[in-house]
Amino acid sequence: MRTQALFFKMYKNFTTAFALFLISVQPVFAQTAAWGGKCVDGEQDDVATIQGLECLFANVFLVIIPLIGLAAFVMFLVGAFRWLTSGGDTKHTGQAKQTMTFAVIGIVVALSAFIILNLIANFTGVEKIKEFRIPRSNEPPEQTQFVD
């Protein structure tokens, strides 16, 4: 019974802290670079084109990548909290270890994808694999240059 009261008190404190965090959030104007892309076309720049997918994917990845890291960090904290509140029970301790292990595996997989892509680009010299670009119909295809 005492453990349940302690858990309820911790839950109440966590909920209060989270509510205060949500209240204190301020708007942020996060554009750090000047706009250089073109997601729309037409005389008045108001017609969406297939090249708009470039901007869409770039914006989605700018949001998703930090969220992956945040989710892994939160899961690591959840595992640590479960371990602390397991009370020495081997079943709950094992579940907490498993949660923390999966969080670390998630971080390693996410970072490995980024590192492998950059290693391939650096070793082969092909920097284009790090860019998502849809070819336009009014551009000639790029010529491959071979080194003798």
Kindly state the DSSP code that residue 138 receives in the 8-state scheme. Answer: T
Domain membership flag for residue 13: no
Domain membership flag for residue 51: yes
Average pLDDT over the chain, rounded to an integer: 76
Domain membership flag for residue 138: no
Domain membership flag for residue 103: yes
- Split into its structural domains, the chain has a count of 1
Looking at residue 46, its pLDDT comes to: 62
Domain membership flag for residue 98: yes
- Backbone phi and psi for residue 24, each to the nearest 5 degrees, phi listed first: -85, 0
Amino acid at 78: V
Looking at residue 148, its pLDDT comes to: 52
Q: Is the pTM of this model over 0.85?
A: no
Which tokens is 22 given? 């949500």
Per-residue pLDDT tens for 12-68? 777 877 776 666 666 665 555 555 556 665 565 666 667 677 777 777 777 787 788
Per-residue pLDDT tens for 91-107? 999 999 999 999 998 88
Q: Which domain holds residue 82?
A: 46-133
Looking at residue 93, its pLDDT comes to: 92
Report the alpha-carbon distance of residue 51 to residue 41 in Å, rounded.
Answer: 9
Residue among 119, 144, 117, 143 at smallest CA distance from 131: 117
Which tokens is 42 given? 């037409």
Domain membership flag for residue 85: yes
For the range 15-24, what are the long-range contacts, defined as Cβ-Cβ under 8 Å and sequence gap of 24 or more? none
Per-residue pLDDT tens for 72-87? 888 999 999 999 998 8
Q: Report the 10 Å Cβ neighbour count for 72.
A: 20
Domain membership flag for residue 20: no
Mean pLDDT of 113-124: 84
Domain membership flag for residue 18: no
